[in-house]
Structure 1
Amino acid sequence: MKIPSLREAVTPDEWQLRTQLAACYRLVALYGWSDLVFTHISARVPGPEHHFLINPYGLLFEEITASSLVKVDAQCQKVIESPFPVNPAGFTIHSCIHAAREDAHCVLHTHSRAGVAVSAQKAGVLPISQQSTFVLASLGIHEYEGVALRDEEKPRLVQSLGNNNFLMLRNHGLLTVGRTVPDAFLSMYNFENTCRIQVDAMSGGAELTQIDPAILRNLSAVLKAVTAGQGANIAWPALLRKLDRVDPSYAD
């Protein structure tokens, strides 16, 4: 699907963000975490206006490009005219988190099979893998209240997330926040793998060993060491190269 480029119509900072967010949508599709046209990844546009980029409703994640992303305000009303519709109801979760967390520049939400499976397990995330340690060090849990369409649920969503970077939505799915798009993506990569490993381990039927809770302390310092102080940027350029080999149209 070809649409006119917005590259010359927006600031360089916004274009860079558009490219990163479109890449994130493509990666979510590539790794099999998407749910047709449902769920969203939002990112705050640089500047004082509190505008956001979100997916054009009805496009598969593998179709999304930098120019097709829709710019909206905090009420999910279009700021720049777009031929694509948006889904204000789908912005319910994202809008309240962006409003409450100044550091949550990107909010990534999925309905992946493994994520929903673990969210339905009473014990939630178990400390049975190295990946799980990073999730458990910053994990909130939100109880299921039905499809997240009601404004009255927003304060409870914010409270459930707190200052954490990971949120398990019971019977629903997974959510991560990050200061950047790459940060939110790398967190979701760990979250998703944590859930896949747990489902696989439990399906084997054998007794599981759990990690010593003491190891969960000071995980931020460990993660900094693991990523050579670069955070998500240690992997993001390689992920973009992967996308460029598969289909570089995300940057259109």
Structure 2
Amino acid sequence: MEAVLTRVPQFFNDEERISIYQPEQRGLIFPAIPKFSSYADERQYRKERLVAACRAFAIEGYDYGFAGHLTVRDPEHPELYWTNPMAIHFAQVKVSNLICADHTGKVVEGTYAINRAGFVLHAAVHEMHQDIVAMCHAHTEYGTAFASLGKKVEPITQDAAAFYEDHVVIGDEAGQVAVEVKAGHKVANAFRGVKAAIHQNHGLLTASRHSIESAAFWFIALERCCKQQLMVEATGVTPHLVTPERARYSREHVGSDYIGWLHFQPIWNHLVSTQPDMFD
């Protein structure tokens, strides 16, 4: 499959349905996860989606100087991962300036330097959890503020229920810049069976065992949930929470890695049509 084919809409096929959101009626245009005939094709696909995730973060205003790093594991060499270059704005990330690094932080492909904090955190997670494909972190306005509270997001909405019992708060070394390897190991320990973490006095992190698209969308969603909870708490009125049973039901149907991937598809299509320089 040519890499360029991954940029056009795909038809839903006859594969087994894994989500209630997949149409029962066959032959309709609907996003489908592609199959690859080579590692090269899959690598190109992952790199393009990594760039799109960075561009999406730019649109959301998640930039903060050189802070923020997104990673995706290489499909052929799982000990390597692709990431955005150090000190390049999310809006300027493109396929040609991505870098590939190993778990020691050594850049094995690309000309830009790697973000030290990004290496410390992400490399540790990728190394400890071989099933994690992608990870995202940025110093966002609401997520960073919410992280100072040292508590979880509550199920105040259906959207927030997507994180119910599926995220953790990390209190270790709260507020200390993560530039030491040991800090990465502590964060990695927290990502056992969850898709997101709130690092106290630092910010948000998301991980996906599916795709960079899923990790990126759940980061955007978690930042939104933090903003909404801060807004609700500012009213001084105690919100009605979604019950545990309903929260788990909602998480099952709208909180999976697949749903995160699916949510990202409109973002991808918009970026493809408006920012073609992503592929330079």
The answer on whether the counterparts of 1:114 and 1:195 sit within 8 Å (CA) in structure 2 is: yes
TM-score of the two chains, using structure 1 as the length reference: 0.87
Given the alignment of the two structures, is residue 125 of structure 1 paired with residue 153 of structure 2, yes or no? Answer: yes
The answer on whether the counterparts of 2:107 and 2:113 sit within 8 Å (CA) in structure 1 is: no
Supply the distance in 2 between the matched residues of 1:187 and 1:200 (Cα, whole angstroms): 20
Partner SS, residue 95 of structure 1? helix
The answer on whether the counterparts of 1:169 and 1:175 sit within 8 Å (CA) in structure 2 is: yes
Name the aligned partner's letter for residue 69 of structure 2: H
Partner SS, residue 63 of structure 2? coil
Name 1:106's counterpart in structure 2.
Answer: 134
The match for 1:217 among 245, 248, 256 is: 248
Partner SS, residue 193 of structure 2? coil
Given the alignment of the two structures, is residue 28 of structure 1 paired with residue 57 of structure 2, yes or no? Answer: yes
Q: What pairs with 1:183-222 in structure 2 (closer than 5 Å)?
A: 183-222=214-253
Q: CA deviation at 1:164?
A: 0.7
The answer on whether the counterparts of 2:99 and 2:111 sit within 8 Å (CA) in structure 1 is: no
Name 2:102's counterpart in structure 1.
Answer: 73
Name 1:88's counterpart in structure 2.
Answer: 116
Are residues 11 and 87 of structure 1, via their aligned partners in 2, closer, same or farther at CA, if it must alter by over 3 Å?
same
Are residues 56 and 230 of structure 1, via their aligned partners in 2, closer, same or farther at CA, if it must alter by over 3 Å?
closer
Partner SS, residue 198 of structure 2? strand
Name the aligned partner's letter for residue 134 of structure 1: A
The answer on whether the counterparts of 2:150 and 2:169 sit within 8 Å (CA) in structure 1 is: no
**Total equivalences in the alignment:** 239
Name 1:182's counterpart in structure 2.
Answer: 213
Are residues 233 and 126 of structure 1, via their aligned partners in 2, closer, same or farther at CA, if it must alter by over 3 Å?
closer
Name 2:86's counterpart in structure 1.
Answer: 57
Q: What pairs with 1:5-20 in structure 2 (closer than 5 Å)?
A: 11-20=40-49
Given the alignment of the two structures, is residue 239 of structure 1 paired with residue 267 of structure 2, yes or no? Answer: yes
TM-score of the two chains, using structure 2 as the length reference: 0.79
Root-mean-square deviation (Å):
2.1
Supply the distance in 1 between the matched residues of 2:150 and 2:196 (Cα, whole angstroms): 17
Supply the distance in 2 between the matched residues of 1:245 and 1:112 (Cα, whole angstroms): 26
Partner SS, residue 21 of structure 1? helix
Q: What pairs with 1:114-193 in structure 2 (closer than 5 Å)?
A: 114-145=142-173, 146-178=176-208, 179-193=210-224
Percent identical:
21
Deviates more, 1:123-132 or 1:182-191: 123-132
